[in-house]
Structure 1
Amino acid sequence: MDTINNYHQIITEILGEYAKLPYAYGNLERKFIISEDHKNYLLLTVGYLKGKRVHGCVVHLEIINDKIWIYEDGMEDGIALDLVNAGIPKSKIVLGFHPPEIRPHTGFAVN
């Protein structure tokens, strides 16, 4: 299996499980969105909480070449840890939400 398909399978499994988790309060739900080319993945929270509209990005991942870029990570323990536990090396994960000068100190890929 090539790298992109492997990443797609892992990401889809991880975020698909998170998308199934119900919210304990409010009229909120998760939406899991995958781009047609299977390179962008979004996990959104949408709905209403205390009468106010909620629409926010929890996770945004993009596959660029042979690496997974994490642009948004609102998970409690971090989506990067889930990816590593699924077998993706840290050298193939870029914490894109950090500025370039911080990335060398994260233990993950720089770019």
Structure 2
Amino acid sequence: MDRIDKYRDILYKSLSEQALLMNKPDRITSTVIVSEDRNHFMVINEGWEGKRRIHSLVFHAEIRSGKLWIHHDGIDRGITEDLVAASIPKDRIVLAFHSPEIRSQTGYAVV
């Protein structure tokens, strides 16, 4: 298995575990969505909270140029530490939701 496939598998497993934790039976469903080329990963919440419709993006990441770009991370405790613990190096993770100036101070990849 090459490095990128390993990243895809780690990300999918971690997001699937998070989605199970976020599910609220009979109310809100958290779903992991993976693009056909397996380069985009999203988690959405869908359902109802009382009379209020819920349909929101919780997480979006992309495999780009051999790195994992996290565009949006709305998971309560974040997911980056789980990815690092599962052997994705910090210098292969771009926190794209931060500006490049801030990224340089995070310990993760800038680009």
Please tell me the TM-score bracket, short chain as reference.
over 0.9
Counterparts of 1:1-111 in structure 2, within 5 Å, are 1-21=1-21, 22-23=23-24, 27-111=27-111
Amino acid at match of 1:65: S
Q: Using the TM superposition, give the Cα deviation of residue 77 of structure 1 relative to its aligned residue in structure 2, in angstroms.
A: 1.9
Q: Deviations over 1:49-98 (max 9, x none)?
A: 12111111111010002100001101222111111011111000000000
Distance 2:48 2:24 in 1: 11
Distance 1:77 1:89 in 2: 19
Q: Using the TM superposition, give the Cα deviation of residue 100 of structure 1 relative to its aligned residue in structure 2, in angstroms.
A: 1.4
Amino acid at match of 2:41: Y
Q: Secondary structure at 1:48's aligned position in 2?
A: strand
Q: Using the TM superposition, give the Cα deviation of residue 37 of structure 1 relative to its aligned residue in structure 2, in angstroms.
A: 0.3
The number of aligned residues is 110
Q: Using the TM superposition, give the Cα deviation of residue 23 of structure 1 relative to its aligned residue in structure 2, in angstroms.
A: 2.1
**Unpaired runs of 5+ in structure 1?**
none
Q: Using the TM superposition, give the Cα deviation of residue 3 of structure 1 relative to its aligned residue in structure 2, in angstroms.
A: 1.5
Q: Secondary structure at 1:105's aligned position in 2?
A: coil
Distance 2:51 2:59 in 1: 24
Q: CA RMSD of the aligned region, Å?
A: 1.3
Amino acid at match of 2:24: Y
Q: Secondary structure at 1:42's aligned position in 2?
A: strand
**Unpaired runs of 5+ in structure 2?**
none
Distance 1:76 1:85 in 2: 17
* TM-score with structure 2 setting the length: 0.93
Q: Using the TM superposition, give the Cα deviation of residue 11 of structure 1 relative to its aligned residue in structure 2, in angstroms.
A: 0.8
Distance 2:83 2:3 in 1: 14
Q: Using the TM superposition, give the Cα deviation of residue 44 of structure 1 relative to its aligned residue in structure 2, in angstroms.
A: 0.6
